[in-house]
Amino acid sequence: MARLEIGACAEVIATGRIGVVEDRERTKVTLCFYDKEYIEPEYITFKDHELKPAETPAIKTSQLGPFVRGELTLDAVSNGINYLSEYVKTDSKAYKVSAADLLAGVNAYDGMPPEDVLKWIDTIMQFEEDLSFPESPWEDIVDEVKEKDILSLAYNELEEIRWDILEENPVELLPEDFKNLRECLEVWVKSKGKEYPESLTIRIAQQFDSDSIDKQSEKTQQLFKKCLDSLCDKKDPKAIQRRGYCYYCGTKIYPNDWIKARDAFLEYYQLTGDASAANTLGYIYYYGRCNGGVPEYEEAFKYFSIGHAYTYFESTYKLADMFAHGYGVVKDGETANHLYWSVYKQNIKRFVKEDYECKFADAALRMGNCFRDEIGAQKDLETAYYYYLQADFAIRKRTAVANHYGDTVVFNGVQKALEEVRKEYTKKGRTEQFFYPGWTKWALIKHRRCRLKVKGLKDGVLSLSASPIKRFDEDKAPLMLITIPKADYCELRDKITIKTAKNSTFEIADGSSEIIFDHVEFDYGKRTTKFYLYDKCVGEICTDGYSFTAPAVKKELSGKVYHFVSVCFEESGRCYDYLCDDKSVKVGDEVIVKGYDGEKAVKVVAVTDKYESQLGLPIERFKKIIKKL
């Protein structure tokens, strides 16, 4: 007798009962019987000689349609075994499942015992390829809704019903168990493919947003608009929010319209109280988008205050902007500085953990402004430059991983700030000197433990390799943000090398070459740094000073050369860079550009040529001059 392998059908010689081989151990074979109970089958173990191979029943292609429609049961096809071969026997032309057939099956099995419903669904899933079900139930729906999209949705509903039966093992199915599945199919079948269920409308409206919809075909754009408008008419909050962003950013099917965007976010906020809408409304009012460019500061302050209360960083730093400049409020540099610093502190924690989409660039730019423009601080160009370098590094990181609205403005603002301060800040050199252990501020991120490896060099110079240690709840330790203004250097590092002055000495408590510490103390008189772990001194270094040398950064000019003009908008006083194909445009000329409120006539304030390596942003992020006046 042929050996009975797992998955094969076997007949019990004594009784004629047929089961499926579930397991075997030497001469013992365990069969699974579905004939009495499908959801909880019976398992019985036999000896090899008590069994003989049985032919596994197979379904025929001519039986697929009747089976899906509920005209043929699994019992009938399998002669009561309730188990079929995984292969379909071809006896006529191939069958392709239809929404009408599946709906007929739903109607046939509605009210039937859960066990029978499960047999029907399991068999459909077993032969889904033979039935030509769509492969991916969650792929984007493009151009138009097709029957395959309805079947994908129906297949997902079948899976939901299957798992509900298996997990709950109900005595009977409730009417609502088939509700979604029936609605999904009925609307399509009765309208002959002209209408589709609301669940599909929601799915289509959620597929795209203001960043991605313009990349789709014209048919897909119109389908998206139809679904989104339908949901907005029904006061669906998420749909209202999504359409609001489309009007805010401007798309082919929803051209930029500040009034419609404002009204959408007002409606969304009234429906949900979501502070993200308040944050967006704050921007609309701050820049006077619906008021001919004239700011509406009272409304801006109101909505930014709501956003700030819910810790929206954009709201916090825009609120600070209002205090810094006295826009609609009493000018108060101290308050502005405090708010900027709160955003900076919270976002640097995210940035060193490689969350490059955070608001660190925006906060660092504003901290630089505080020390350049004396906003709650004394003028200090070195400190201003320090923050501008961080902002530059952060915005380049952000634009490399994401395409956020307004990032081009932030990038240009940082470049102009660096350029302006660089003219006055002239200190040069790649090495940062420390009389005391100031370098530990880089490694001691939020008072964490750090590893310091000590190596002696010639003339009593010590080489110190420092790195933060990850905590038990972290996958990796945060990186160190090293910023050296005079070297034009800012970088995230996982390890830094510090050198001491000559004739330095060190001592480590356990006699090794490594110190694990979480804080330090410095004795100015003895010039001794003591390293502590949990308040216990674990090592010390005596030296006249420390130094860190920033790596040399080669700034090579490469790539294509692009022609730019800088233009100034009178309403905001801000300058922006635009690509310009017309080389005859010069400083003082007026040109037409596309601004936030459509086409504008603006004055050219600068003309430059830049290599691609100097841009910092992808070239497609820059707008073009429309024409010269």
Task: Give the percent of the chain with pLDDT over 70.
Answer: 97
Which pLDDT band holds residue 77 (cuts at 50, 70, 90)? confident
At 306-327, the pLDDT tens digits run 999 999 999 999 999 999 999 9
Query: Do the Cβ atoms of 617 and 411 come closer than 8 Å?
Result: yes
Contact 463, 523 (CB under 8 A): no
When pLDDT is averaged across residues 11-28 and rounded to a whole number, the result is: 90
Would you state the structure tokens that stand for residue 176, as one six-digit string?
């609502």
Identify the CA nearest to 228 among candidates 217, 220, 215, 240. 240
The pLDDT of residue 572 is 53
At 262, the pLDDT band (50, 70, 90 cuts) reads very high
Mean pLDDT of 273-302: 96
- pLDDT level of residue 553 (50, 70, 90 thresholds): confident
Rg (CA), the chain: 35
DSSP labels, 274-319:
-HHHHHHHHHHHHTTTTTTT---HHHHHHHHHHHHHTT-HHHHHHH
Give the phi and the psi of residue 577 in degrees, each rounded to 5.
-95, 135
> Which pLDDT band holds residue 333 (cuts at 50, 70, 90)?
very high
- For tokens 């043929």, the residue is 72
- The reported pLDDT for the residue numbered 94 is 86
Looking at residue 596, what is its pLDDT? Answer: 64
Give me the mean pLDDT over the 556-574 stretch: 76
With helix as H, strand as E and coil as C, how does 432-448 read? EEECCCCCHHHHCHHHC
State residue 152 phi and psi, 5-degree precision.
-60, -45
Average pLDDT of the residues in 404-429? 90
What pLDDT is attached to residue 574? 66
- pLDDT higher at 590 or 298: 298
What are the distances in angstroms from CA 229 to CA 126, 151, 236, 241, 258? 39, 24, 10, 12, 18
CA gap 385, 488 in Å, rounded: 9
Type of residue found at 284: I
What long-range pairs does 368-371 form, CB within 8 A, spacing at least 24? Answer: 368/417, 368/421, 369/324, 369/417, 370/333, 370/336, 370/337, 370/340
> Pairing relation of β-strands 496-500 and 519-523?
unpaired
Strand (E) or helix (H) holding 559: none
The per-residue pLDDT for 136 is 60
Residue 563: closest CA among 514, 599, 526, 615: 615
pLDDT tens digit sequence for 570-611? 655 567 788 888 888 888 888 888 766 667 788 888 888 888
What is the model's pLDDT at position 594?
78
Average pLDDT for residues 203-216, to the nearest whole number? 92
Lowest mean pLDDT among 348-357, 386-395, 498-507, 553-562: 553-562
Phi and psi of 375, rounded to 5°? -95, 95
The whole-number average pLDDT for the span 291-312 is 96
Strands 496-500 and 536-542: unpaired
Element counts in the chain: helices (H) and strands (E): 19, 22
Task: Check: CB of residue 287 under 8 Å from CB of residue 299.
Answer: no
Residue 163 amino acid letter: W
pLDDT at residue 487 in the model: 93
Q: Which helix (H) or strand (E) holds 126?
A: helix 114-126
- 200-424 adopts what CATH topology? 1.25.40
pLDDT for res 494: 95
Q: How far apart are CA 348 and CA 386, in angstroms?
A: 14
Provide the 8-state DSSP code for 89. B
Closest CA to 25 of 56, 1, 55, 46: 46
Quick check: 82 and 19 in contact, CB under 8 A?
A: no
Residue 189, both tokens: 């079948």
Residue 69 CB neighbours (<10 A): 18
pLDDT digits 0-9 by tens, 132-143: 877 665 678 999
User: What is the reported pLDDT for 597?
Assistant: 64
Most confident of 22-26, 290-294, 297-301, 416-420: 297-301
Is the distance from CB of 64 to CB of 102 less than 8 angstroms? no
Entry pTM: 0.80
What is the mean predicted confidence (pLDDT) over 330-343? 98
Report the 3 state secondary structure along 143-176. CCCCHHHHHHHHHHHHHHHHHHHHHHCCCCCCHH
Report, as an integer, the average pLDDT of 346-375: 97
The residue assigned the tokens 């989409």 is 357
25-62 tens-digit pLDDT = 888 999 999 888 888 889 999 998 999 998 888 899 99
Chain centre distance of CA 2: 56
Evaluate if residue 1 carries a pLDDT over 60. Answer: no
